[in-house]
Amino acid sequence: MLGVLLVLGVGSALTVPQAQAQGQTYTVATDTTFAPFEFQDKQGDFVGIDMDLIRAIAKDQGFTVDIKPLGFDAALQAVQANQVDGVIAGMSITDERRKVFDFSDPYFESGIQMAVLKSNDTIKSYEDLKGKRVAVKNGTQGSDFANSIKDKYGFQVVSFADSSSMFDEVRTGNSDAVFEDYPVLLYGIAQGNGFKTVTPKEDPTGYGFAVNKGANAELLTKFNAGLKNLKASGEYDKIISAYLGEEATTDDNSILGLIKSTFPLLLEGLKMTIILTVVSIFFALILGIIFGLFRVSRAVWLRAIGTTFVDIFRGTPLLVQAFFIYFGIPSALGFQMSALTAGIITLSLNAGAYMTEIVRGGIQSVDKGQMEAARSLGIGYLPTMRKVILPQAIRTMIPSYINQFVITLKDTSILSVIGIAELTQTGRIIIAGNYQSFNMWLIIGIIYFIVIMALTKLSDRLEKRLVK
């Protein structure tokens, strides 16, 4: 394992995917919570200005697109790592970004506005922000603009990974204002998010479709040609007006109404959570047994390998492991890896480290006389371990194993950072479209509680039966 990790750390030349150009299918990354440009509808489909636009351009130019909703930060990293061919995510074209990406012609002109709660009558300009906090979204023009004027007007900036968390920060009273692209603010206000704009548009800038620097020039050319055709035909205007109209939502946003309208999506998210957990814990058990035996081996070098495995994956955050496995390894070795594969590998290795300690503890809980008695009868070390020690150790390991199952189930929520639509990520995507954060997180929390309590009760019953 240590040798594998050392190999993964060695850089190699990046290989730009060629299959897309040959098969006319391009993988395009996008954000997950940036309505009206990209969000998920009640059927679970990703819709919005960006989504409709890239699909219309693909149809016009005769290619197909495979949309990968990763979140803004992860989408940019995926392009740089050649995990995807391009990104469309309300991405402002800036000189700094041009150093890393090649951009299309601008497809939408945006601008930054400040918004506060409707009930806030004290903040009407930047001067009113002195001594206060404002919320922004990581990597956006709103964030850049807020940071450029914070010293002048004396306010503090706090950053969040998605728009819904940014708005929630103000709703809770921890911050007083947000800086965001004006179409996002207008859409949220139309959805009844309780905000109002209080400043004119600042820094008008174009949104662009982006590819990795020096890569996928053909895709960029097709995007520009398709965009020109859509504008000439009037279809572009239809797409824009469909999402930036003045109609407010008429959806039922009560808890029962949300359960009814989002149940299919939540069920899919829960299904992915359970799949990730079951598959990962299966491989984690195999790793745990192997490295657990290493940890109690008489060979010093085997114990060293087992200890190194445990120290690496217990000593680093799961979030870092997910980014390293999904972005770092493919970038270094020049290949592509699906988010699901990366997620399973991450959880398996992380849980495997903890399972190793569970197995080690279970083996060491068996009286040493059992091993000595078997060896005195002429039974070899491995047969003794397999037929005498492990069957007894498993009885003590089962409760801890189920407990690790519960922990891994909760850890699946971290994989939302690489775009896996498990239960937590599904909730974030739904909130991005309806802005009902309190009710939705309450519903999701209840789902987690029911599943985890069922597993906990199962663990308790197994433990009682084993004690008898």
- According to the model, what pLDDT value does residue 6 have? 35
What average pLDDT is seen over the chain? 83
Place domain 14-107+208-243 in its CATH homologous superfamily.
Periplasmic binding protein-like II (3.40.190.10)
Distance between CA atoms of 1 and 334, rounded to whole angstroms? Answer: 20
Q: 192-222 b/e with 16+ CB inside 10 Å = b? A: ebbbebbbeebeebbbbbbbbeebbeebbeb
CATH number listed for the domain at residues 255-467: 1.10.3720.10
- According to the model, what pLDDT value does residue 273 have? 92
Mean pLDDT value across residues 144-157: 92
- According to the model, what pLDDT value does residue 381 have? 67
Q: Give the H or E element holding residue 423.
A: helix 423-434
Domain layout of the chain by residue ranges: 14-107+208-243, 109-204, 255-467
Question: Do the first three CATH levels of 14-107+208-243 and 255-467 match, i.e. the same topology?
Answer: no
Least confident of 142-146, 221-225, 327-331, 347-351: 327-331
Report CA-CA distances (Å) from 64 to 21, 56, 96, 333, 453: 11, 10, 30, 27, 44
Higher pLDDT, 398 or 117: 117
Report CA-CA distances (Å) from 418 to 160, 232, 273, 412: 16, 37, 14, 11
Mean pLDDT value across residues 3-26: 44
Residues 6+ apart with CB under 8 A from 108: 49, 90, 183, 206, 207, 240
Distance between CA atoms of 412 and 38, rounded to whole angstroms? Answer: 23
Mean pLDDT value across residues 167-187: 87
- According to the model, what pLDDT value does residue 101 have? 95
> Is the pLDDT assigned to residue 68 strictly greater than 70?
yes
- According to the model, what pLDDT value does residue 463 have? 67
- Domain 109-204: state its class: alpha beta
- According to the model, what pLDDT value does residue 309 have? 93
